[in-house]
Amino acid sequence: MSRVLNNVGPIKSETKEKVLRAAKKIGYVPSALAQQFARKKSGNIGVVLPHVPKVHLFSAYYFSEILSGIGEVAQSNDYNLLLIYRDLSGKRDYSTLFRAQKIDACIMLGSQNIPEERAALAELQKQNYPFCLVNQRFDEEDYCTVDADHIEGSRLVVEHLIHQGYRKIAMLNGPLSYSNSEDRYKGYIAALEQHKLHSTLEYADELYYEGNYSRKSGYETASLLAEKIKQSDIDAVFAANDRMAIGLMNGLKEFNLEAGTDYGLVGYDNSDGSRIVSPPLTTVEVPFYEMGRQAAKLVLQTLENDKSTLSQKSVLQINLIPRESS
Amino acid sequence: MSRVLNNVGPIKSETKEKVLRAAKKIGYVPSALAQQFARKKSGNIGVVLPHVPKVHLFSAYYFSEILSGIGEVAQSNDYNLLLIYRDLSGKRDYSTLFRAQKIDACIMLGSQNIPEERAALAELQKQNYPFCLVNQRFDEEDYCTVDADHIEGSRLVVEHLIHQGYRKIAMLNGPLSYSNSEDRYKGYIAALEQHKLHSTLEYADELYYEGNYSRKSGYETASLLAEKIKQSDIDAVFAANDRMAIGLMNGLKEFNLEAGTDYGLVGYDNSDGSRIVSPPLTTVEVPFYEMGRQAAKLVLQTLENDKSTLSQKSVLQINLIPRESS
DNA sequence: TGCCATAATGTACGCGTGTACACTATGGTG
DNA sequence: CACCATAGTGTACACGCGTACATTATGGCA
């Protein structure tokens, strides 16, 4: 009987027990399929993520942590996690997932500010489908977002470097289509200006580099930086993630430049890698697991309340982890 | 009309087009919920995995690769991926997932040979629910399995070390509840015996160590090995995964012992970490992505054929990657 | 033209829940 | 005792597909 399992309506406790015993006896397990159909809810929350193995720009660590956070909240709320790898062809049709009732809500990982993505998200918003972006903001839009305070994180990095005595601090950023990258740049600039270290023009030209978050791109930047470091035009580098920092570190080793002694180096993410390179990499800890949990909580709340929280924005605090590379 | 979308029965192409146009016009999207219900198939393939963040024994890289492989095959066959984190409490009730019709098939990652797991899998087999184990064999049972040839992989490692001139080769293995660990031990022993390097008794006592696949356990083993390496009782170590190898490498650094010069070191997995430590770690490449694809293909085949392939075992080849640590 | 096989289409029902509504039992109150 | 509110239970239907079966259109052949 549906009523006893779902505790709906008044039931004599005696009858309830009888039903439960009978159900147990015949090994009755309700069909999730039929339930979903009757309730018109799939009970799935979709997690969209880029196809990592081909594009090795994101660290597995990053997704694994966020995903686990989402998974914890989802499971304890009786929701399932539906994994959706973003179409390789670049087509982004999230709203069909909702219309087909495959998912009730959606969490986006590794999203970036490009036209197709903006269009796809706008469509979702328009249809009032609940979704949440993790680690990516769209400032002009009112999307539900969970982010970390990368501006502050980057400020801390630069202040740390300054405190360690470095003065000519370069930045190796990722693509600006990620709000992440933008934020890090803002924090970087803010800290520099606060300490009156550079005029705006200078670092735009001389101290700012852009990779694509891959280790390779960090490695390749080494040849651009080596000479400047040797001539003391640059004495420290802030890389926007650990992968690029590590690539750069290894690249500069080939120029006989050691992080921590010949120049300062700071990464970002506190990935596994940052601990095992030598010297260990100073980095910024981002609470990915917690971000996953928050995102899941937000979309689930939206599902319950039917409204509100739909455009809530959550910003988590970060944490500098000083190690020997700076 | 269900028939035109599913191409069942004979239809006049004219009518077909008319229906399709009408469907497009009103923006019709079939309800996956209703389809699943009518077909009595969820269209989901479940992926069971341990709760990684808490138990940091597995590398994120490992799961991310396998998962992506599964995802590729699943998506191109119109199946969804349902993520299932193994219950932290240790309860393993996979068969309810089938009975509730949440999943049509299941792939197990990070499984190990312990009583609860054996019982849960036996139950699945008994009920004829299709599932596949990745990277874990149960020799006494007839389960569908996708594994890599870790015996051969380990043989290659040891032969490589011998070829490099090392003679007193220790092993740092993982828990033997993983068939992986067992296989690696077999390969290790086989190679040693083949080259008549040790009597069986010796290495059991003096050269064999066991960690738990975590970096920490590798690190902690360093203190046990340092003295022996200095006294030339050991001149090389084969660690059963990269994480332990890296932990050990860092641990031994504190005893002023450098991999590649003071002793030989080989890891296993070809994880991201193995490339970025210094010296770069000799390791074994395991085709995780491909293993994921195979596993997905096997369970999907089983779903189509209704029978057979149910107990198929697939063993993929591995690949030694020599680097500077040996 | 009549007949039949087959192509094409129409139709009705089942799938297993949730739930609105109808109905009965209970117990308290005037 | 009659009446009524409410607790408790029975019942029937909807949900939106797939599909088996019934029905009709088509065209080839005698």
Q: Return the pLDDT at B307.
A: 63
Chain-wide mean pLDDT for chain A?
90
Q: Distance, in angstroms, between A248 CA and closest chain B CA?
A: 11
Element (H, E) at B265: strand B264-266
Alpha helices in chain B (DSSP H): 2-6, 13-25, 32-39, 60-76, 95-99, 115-126, 150-163, 179-194, 200-202, 215-230, 242-253, 272-276, 288-305
Asked whether residue A3's C-beta has any atom of DNA/RNA strand C within 7 A, the reply is yes
**Least CA distance to A104: which residue of chain B?**
B33
Interface test with A, best of B33, B39, B88, B269 (most A CBs within 10 A): B33
Tokens of B252: 């031994």
Average the pLDDT over each of A113-122, A183-192, B204-213, B216-225 and give the range with the smallest value: B204-213
Output the CA angle A96-A101-A107, nearest 5 degrees: 70
CA to C1' distance (Å), from B19 to C4: 30
By the 10 Å C-beta count (0-12 exposed, 13-18 middle, 19+ buried), A228 is classed as middle
DSSP summary character for residue A263: B
Asked whether residue A26's C-beta has any atom of DNA/RNA strand C within 7 A, the reply is no
Partners of residue B171 on adjacent β-strands: B208, B238
Residue type for position A61: Y
Beta carbons of B33 and A101 less than 8 angstroms apart: yes
Whether A201 shows a pLDDT value over 70: the answer reads no
Condensed to tens digits (0 to 9), the pLDDT of residues B184-193 reads: 999 999 999 8
Higher-confidence position of B27 and B266 = B266
Which of B100, B215, B246 has the CB atom closest to A30's CB atom?
A: B100
Tokens of B182: 């067992």
Confidence band of B39 (pLDDT split at 50, 70, 90) = very high
Q: Compute and round to an integer the Cα radius of gyration of chain B.
A: 24
Whether B149 shows a pLDDT value over 50: the answer reads yes
CA torsion sign, A14 to A19 to A24 to A25? positive
How far is the C-alpha of A102 from the C-alpha of A89, rounded, in Å?
Answer: 21
How far is the C-alpha of B112 from the C-alpha of A103, rounded, in Å?
Answer: 32
Q: Which nucleotide is nearest to B6 (CA to C1')?
A: D18
Give the global pTM.
0.92
Q: Return the pLDDT at B202.
A: 54
By the 10 Å C-beta count (0-12 exposed, 13-18 middle, 19+ buried), B157 is classed as buried
Backbone angles phi, psi at A76, to 5 degrees: -75, -5
Tokens of A1: 């009987």
